[in-house]
Structure 1
Amino acid sequence: MTLSGLLVTGMLAAQPAAAADPAGYPNVRINEVTSSNNDTVELYNTGSTAVSISGWKMSDDSFSSQTFSPSSSTIPAGGFVTFNSPKGLGDSDKLVIYTSGGTVVDRVEWATDKAKPAMARCGGDGTGAWVSTTSATTFGASNASGCPSSIPAASRVRINEVTSNGSDTVELYNGGSSAVSVGSWKYVDNDTSHSAASISSSSPSATSIPAGGYVTFNSSIGLGDNDSAFLVDNNGNTVDSVTWATDGAKPSDERCANGTGWFRTATTATLGSANSCSGSGDGGGGEETGHLLGGGGSLTSGCTPEAASGTGSNPTGTLAWPGGLDVTIADNACAFTTSTGPEGRDVSGLAFDPAHPSVLWAVKNKNWLYKLTKNNGKWIPDSSWSATGKQIRFAGGSGEPDAEGLTVGGNGHIYVTSERDNTKNTAPKDTIMEFDPAATASTLTPIHQWDMTSQFPKLNTGNKDDANLGFEGIGYVPDTWLTANGWVDPLTGAAYNPANYPLHGSGLFFAGLEYDGTLHVYGLNSDGTFTTFGTIATGKASVMDVTFDAGTQRLIATCDNTCGETHTFMKLNASGALVPDVTYKNPAVMPIENLEGFAIAPTSSCVSGFREAVWSDDGIYGFGPGSSSYGHALYSGTFPC
């Protein structure tokens, strides 16, 4: 049969979804399966809305589809449902999930013993690579704890983009550090009567994918609406899959973030290169537009918002926000007025307390520290600590720190950076101050203070604007993470050994410099001295906040409107160096403002697959006079767990 005939046959065989197919069904993915211990299957909902699975069916490689009894008839957004296979599953088998209307939702195949203890998606529930787990199964919960610490090279290959728009093309991406041979791999669509086709026999022929590279090929079995693409290696193990609804792959369906994230409908196909991530975010071909919720209220006397300045464009390769598209204004209007800053603006750094996820710390340029807790969806000062915030001073009780960034150390203390003394604002004073949050005084002085001003002579010009380009953000990074990931100590050229620095505590501090977007690494010693571990480039013009996120195992360098409101996630590479990994922009509904603070809640606070992300607006300008965001400093959204 001719190629065109195969294309027509494939497209006709991929029947339109029956009317009974529920909205969001392509977001439901097989997430874990075992061929022992009652042959259990776990489904996960990667979408942002619940999906009904009532009447759904399953089959393996030997029996017709059968109904099953799930633990719940509805899967919540970011939630799990489990069931036991009604016919059993074998050592070398296949599992297919169908809607009640007969549409294929997802499938997975495995070779002998590969589903013992289980086959599970590792590297992200619903989106990760299929890998045989090495420890106990994790049904009904995230796969992370059961996944091996290192994902095999072949499993780093992902279906990254697919189009059913004309050429029916599939793109594979290799997210690993070595080339992977794919010449004997196969693919198939969701028509169960189709035989799998070889990648190497497709046009163009593909035999190997270089590290960090792409391979594209045109499907010889056709791809249509309400269809799927399944990738299987030479051993018969499923590598990856994607399912889409009507028009979901037109122009294309693509992973966002590139190589790792959920699928979404693209506005522009980018086959053979990094995904644009410019489309809708539901993974099922529908359109989603975010909403800015809440806000409003009258401005109090003396509360004067300040418009943003110095807005720049997004860096090349910036990806769409991976969390929810809706954002909520999360404070009262003019909530941060103080005796030294009646204008009610200048909230800069933010940090969640890892030991107390319901606590958010905030610092204001006009030398004030706030302990915030949630009340009716808004972050407000904790009245048991201080209903109005606490003023902070430099060591000795003098001066007014131009406080910009803060982080919570391993000892539970709050570490605050200052660029200058507001009473002498033409001279830099780049310092890190340690405060005990248990102190009962209304004005806080540091337990320790470390002054790094002499390291930045370029900021000491006698000009207040230059003096204001110093330490803008700070993040505490535990020694355990640095050692476990092989960070190379720039002072020794060998693996970092915390024992070489006995006075520094349990981690290092990464301070972000607004002047040039670099990170400066310090060990803060208990005797008041410090160790300088060098400078790290973030690839950005400026850094406004720094956050270590244990959930993603990344250090995040945030830039405000200067860099188009973006967050660069830094990883430790195979050489032990901290380097940029991926950069996300803010949800599209947010204003392009001086959003100088950013924090992600610990994973212990996750609900339905998401956790909170919070931004602070240094100018409380929002979308300007008359807008719901005018006069507000805090915005709340979601980030994947």
Structure 2
Amino acid sequence: MPTSSHSRAGVASVCAAALTLSGLLLTGMATAQTAAAADPAGYPNVRINEVTSSNSDTVELYNTGSAAVSISGWKMSDDSFSPQSFSPSSGTIPAGGFVTFDSPKGLGDADKLVIYTSGGTVVDRVEWATGRAKPAMARCGGDGNGAWVTTTSSSTFGAPNAAGCPSSVPAASRVRLNEVSSNGSDTVELYNGGTSAISIGAWKYVDGDASHSPASVSSSTGATSIPAGGYLTFDSTIGLGDNDSVFLIDAGGNSIDSATWAADGAKPSYERCANAIGRFRTAVTATPGAQNSCSGNTGGDGDGGGDGDGGPEAGELLGGGGSLTSGCTPEAPSGTGSAPSSALAWPGGLDVTIADNVCAFTTSTGTEGRDLSGLAFDPAHPSVLWAAKNKNWLYKLVKSNGKWIPDATWSATGKQIRFAGGSGEPDAEGLTVGGNGHIYVTSERDNTDKEAPKNTIMEFDPASTGSTLSPIHQWDMTAQFPQLDTGSKDDANLGFEGVGYVPDSWLTANGWTDPRTGTAYNPAAYPLHGSGLFFAGLEWDGSLHVYGLNSDGTYTTFGSIPTSKASVMDVTFDNGTQRLVATCDNTCGGTHTFMKVNASGALVPDVTYTKPAVMPTDNLEGFALAPASTCVSGFREAVWSDDGVYGFGAGSSSYGHALYSGSFPC
């Protein structure tokens, strides 16, 4: 449900961390501006994407923009010779396309590569230490925008880099150039998107003037490290101007990040939108030391829109979407709060894509596309994603052309679910796949009587035929939550929001203490409960309630567990991390708390991650991690569902979509 009721006093707000930063300038840029007259539109969008110093000494360029860019007459240099012409595979790089060429002069083990327009303007630059470009150096985490790392497999010239990327990006590569100003102060801002502080004591930076030597970051700031999730700013001692660049280099001489802009592109500021991961755009107001506002941005492709990191941005967001025509009525998010200051940046890849068709989940009970809530991968069938819709519908989804669509062999339009006896309309919020392969769905209330709570868990056999499903078993825990039975539909709508099945084997292997006995959990003491317990998330206060669901229709209560979150919207057990994950939507800033069993046998929060920054801050009520068996190059899929299908609002590519797909480390 959209969490409008979270404004009530009973739900605590969660505080956000404050972040910080500081400034720089250059004069005498007439030469660069004259050269810029010959620069093609969109040249800042072209980025070096991959390079090898083995055998062919091949270079790959990638166009992050939305329009083709001519590279006719462009040149390259390394650290030992003047710019020379090269012969690219094509004289034009299409939008989102690649061009390759073999270096006209060999590239060494420890070298640098600089690309120039025909007018002599620097487009991009990359440096590497001994052996770092063997088999290749490539941007990982997004073509044209990811972090520079050494590939772990064969090169991927002329194709996306994902196949050659390592399983994890080095911690230092999580530091990004986040904002630049050439408007008098000549300020550079760095942001650490990693989970630990990064030492920058020996790091350097340089601008687009090939005659300049790199300058010390630490000498310009007085700082020697950047805290996790923190900002660092400094005024350039080299100076920044029009048609210029900033390149960040670590202590080993390896490139970390870069930004390039055209005339006036960094006046008053050139910043990433979304903050920390988006593409660079000219901003109306500089925000040094703080999150980029991304309001009133100008420019874009061909006008200072060089990517530098290049994740999608609000309004052009995410890719893979479609325009909203008819069939659903998006609902703006409500109940937005802040992420806790202790939350760490999303550890997965920077890229997130729209993963469904527009207005894909309309039903016969209403034309809205809203209310896709709980999500769960099927451990036995990793290519299947189950989804619950608040208006009493269940979907079996499969991947097709990069999108999750209803499995037509099960039901192309989803199946309605009922309470036991075939009556009522469950307000289906969460779901999980049990050890028997059945689907367990939570409901907060009966949609035919919205003022009364009905906190239940229902078991459905997915092999059942017909367009309407009735539960094999149903367990009603409503009486345990009298605080929800006030006659208010808002209170009634703060019950079971998510549920996760946790195998007994994990609970016993990790030494979980049975709250009923105060001793080690012994599954044999509960002979009718099956092979695991069910953890239901209560939206009211963010607590988890643990149940053994017995085959005779009764249940055993194992008490409640705090999650440190104001609310819980989805619960999932992830075998890959060996953690139970409690998800909170925008009420908590869009966060995921991974919980472990501690040395005392209690289930406690371990670490909390934010959602990927590029995603909209909506009522993202569903979250699922693909099984570890699906891992490719060290990553697996993560999926979120928006029960308001609002995206970034009317006119954005995400408007009318419910599902988002990203990645998470294996």
TM-score by length of 1: 0.71
Identify the match of residue 515 of structure 1 among 537, 540, 545.
Answer: 540
Instruction: For residue 215 of structure 1, report the CA deviation from its aligned partner.
Output: 2.6
Query: Equivalent residue for 2:204?
Result: 186
Separation in 2 of the partners of 1:12 and 1:508? Answer: 71
- Alpha carbons 2:273, 2:314 under 8 Å: kept: no
Query: Equivalent residue for 2:287?
Result: 270
Query: Equivalent residue for 1:302?
Result: none
- 2:467 maps to a residue whose letter is S
Cα 1:377–1:296 change in 2 (3 A) is farther
User: Which stretch of structure 1 is more off in the superposition, 520-529 or 95-104?
Assistant: 520-529
Instruction: For residue 467 of structure 1, report the CA deviation from its aligned partner.
Output: 2.2
Query: Equivalent residue for 2:191?
Result: 173
Identify the match of residue 230 of structure 1 among 230, 244, 247.
Answer: 247
Separation in 2 of the partners of 1:489 and 1:79? Answer: 52
Query: Equivalent residue for 2:364?
Result: 337
Query: Equivalent residue for 1:293?
Result: 323
Separation in 1 of the partners of 2:66 and 2:436? Answer: 37
Residue-by-residue CA offset, 1:544-602 (whole Å, 9 max, x unaligned):
56789999999794647x78xx64455789x97131425758669xxx9xx67667998
The reply to whether residue 470 of structure 1 matches residue 495 of structure 2 is yes
- Alpha carbons 2:570, 2:621 under 8 Å: kept: yes
Residue-by-residue CA offset, 1:472-525 (whole Å, 9 max, x unaligned):
345789999x99xxx9987599xxxxx998999999977554324x26386987
Query: Equivalent residue for 2:561?
Result: 534
Query: Equivalent residue for 2:606?
Result: 577
Query: Map of 1:98-497 to 2, 5 A cutoff?
Result: 98-144=116-162, 146-202=164-220, 204-278=221-295, 280=297, 282=300, 285=304, 293-296=323-326, 311-312=334-335, 315=338, 330-331=358-359, 335-338=362-365, 347-349=371-373, 351=375, 363-370=388-395, 385-386=410-411, 389-395=414-420, 397=422, 399-406=424-431, 414-422=439-447, 426-447=451-472, 453=478, 456-461=481-486, 463-473=488-498
Instruction: For residue 401 of structure 1, report the CA deviation from its aligned partner.
Output: 1.8
- Alpha carbons 1:330, 1:378 under 8 Å: kept: no
Residue-by-residue CA offset, 1:141-192 (whole Å, 9 max, x unaligned):
5545544445444434332221111111112233445544434332111111
Separation in 1 of the partners of 2:404 and 2:166? Answer: 38
- Alpha carbons 2:66, 2:95 under 8 Å: kept: yes
Separation in 2 of the partners of 1:554 and 1:20? Answer: 57
Residue-by-residue CA offset, 1:266-289 (whole Å, 9 max, x unaligned):
343222233334454948635985
Instruction: For residue 194 of structure 1, report the CA deviation from its aligned partner.
Output: 1.8
- Alpha carbons 1:314, 1:585 under 8 Å: kept: no
Identify the match of residue 102 of structure 2 among 62, 84, 94.
Answer: 84
Cα 1:88–1:454 change in 2 (3 A) is farther
Separation in 2 of the partners of 1:613 and 1:208? Answer: 34
What is the CA RMSD across the aligned residues, in angstroms?
A: 5.5
- Alpha carbons 1:57, 1:68 under 8 Å: kept: yes
Instruction: For residue 228 of structure 1, report the CA deviation from its aligned partner.
Output: 0.8
Any gaps of 5 or more consecutive residues in structure 1? 300-304, 494-498
- 1:193 maps to a residue whose letter is S
Task: Tell me the SS of whatever aligns to 2:191.
Answer: strand
Separation in 1 of the partners of 2:92 and 2:434? Answer: 41
- Alpha carbons 1:252, 1:267 under 8 Å: kept: yes
Cα 1:125–1:310 change in 2 (3 A) is closer
Task: Tell me the SS of whatever aligns to 1:228.
Answer: strand
Cα 1:551–1:324 change in 2 (3 A) is farther
- Alpha carbons 1:358, 1:374 under 8 Å: kept: yes
The reply to whether residue 7 of structure 1 matches residue 26 of structure 2 is yes
User: Which stretch of structure 1 is more off in the superposition, 106-115 or 417-426?
Assistant: 417-426
Identify the match of residue 77 of structure 2 among 59, 69, 80.
Answer: 59
- 1:93 maps to a residue whose letter is D
- 1:520 maps to a residue whose letter is L
Residue-by-residue CA offset, 1:52-71 (whole Å, 9 max, x unaligned):
54544322112333344445
Separation in 2 of the partners of 1:71 and 1:523? Answer: 62
Cα 1:567–1:354 change in 2 (3 A) is farther
- 1:390 maps to a residue whose letter is K
Separation in 2 of the partners of 1:68 and 1:479? Answer: 63
- 1:330 maps to a residue whose letter is V
- 2:183 maps to a residue whose letter is N
Task: Tell me the SS of whatever aligns to 2:563.
Answer: strand
Instruction: For residue 34 of structure 1, report the CA deviation from its aligned partner.
Output: 2.0
Cα 1:97–1:403 change in 2 (3 A) is same
- 1:8 maps to a residue whose letter is T
Cα 1:449–1:228 change in 2 (3 A) is farther
Separation in 2 of the partners of 1:100 and 1:40? Answer: 20
The reply to whether residue 635 of structure 1 matches residue 653 of structure 2 is no
- Alpha carbons 1:390, 1:442 under 8 Å: kept: yes
Cα 1:567–1:507 change in 2 (3 A) is farther
Task: Tell me the SS of whatever aligns to 1:349.
Answer: strand
- Alpha carbons 1:616, 1:634 under 8 Å: kept: no
Separation in 2 of the partners of 1:380 and 1:236? Answer: 46
**Percent of counterpart pairs with the same letter?**
62
User: Which stretch of structure 1 is more off in the superposition, 98-107 or 401-410?
Assistant: 401-410
- 1:534 maps to a residue whose letter is I
Instruction: For residue 433 of structure 1, report the CA deviation from its aligned partner.
Output: 3.3
Cα 1:89–1:19 change in 2 (3 A) is same
Cα 1:85–1:388 change in 2 (3 A) is closer
TM-score by length of 2: 0.69
Instruction: For residue 93 of structure 1, report the CA deviation from its aligned partner.
Output: 0.7
Instruction: For residue 133 of structure 1, report the CA deviation from its aligned partner.
Output: 3.8
Cα 1:230–1:475 change in 2 (3 A) is farther
Instruction: For residue 122 of structure 1, report the CA deviation from its aligned partner.
Output: 3.8
Residue-by-residue CA offset, 1:94-142 (whole Å, 9 max, x unaligned):
1112234432221111122222233233444433333334454444555
Query: Equivalent residue for 1:496?
Result: none
Cα 1:598–1:164 change in 2 (3 A) is farther
- Alpha carbons 1:405, 1:416 under 8 Å: kept: yes
Identify the match of residue 95 of structure 1 among 97, 113, 117.
Answer: 113
Cα 1:317–1:440 change in 2 (3 A) is same
Separation in 1 of the partners of 2:34 and 2:543? Answer: 53
- 1:166 maps to a residue whose letter is G
- 2:606 maps to a residue whose letter is A
Cα 1:612–1:96 change in 2 (3 A) is farther
Separation in 1 of the partners of 2:659 and 2:448? Answer: 36
- Alpha carbons 1:417, 1:474 under 8 Å: kept: yes
- Alpha carbons 1:325, 1:587 under 8 Å: kept: no
Task: Tell me the SS of whatever aligns to 1:458.
Answer: helix
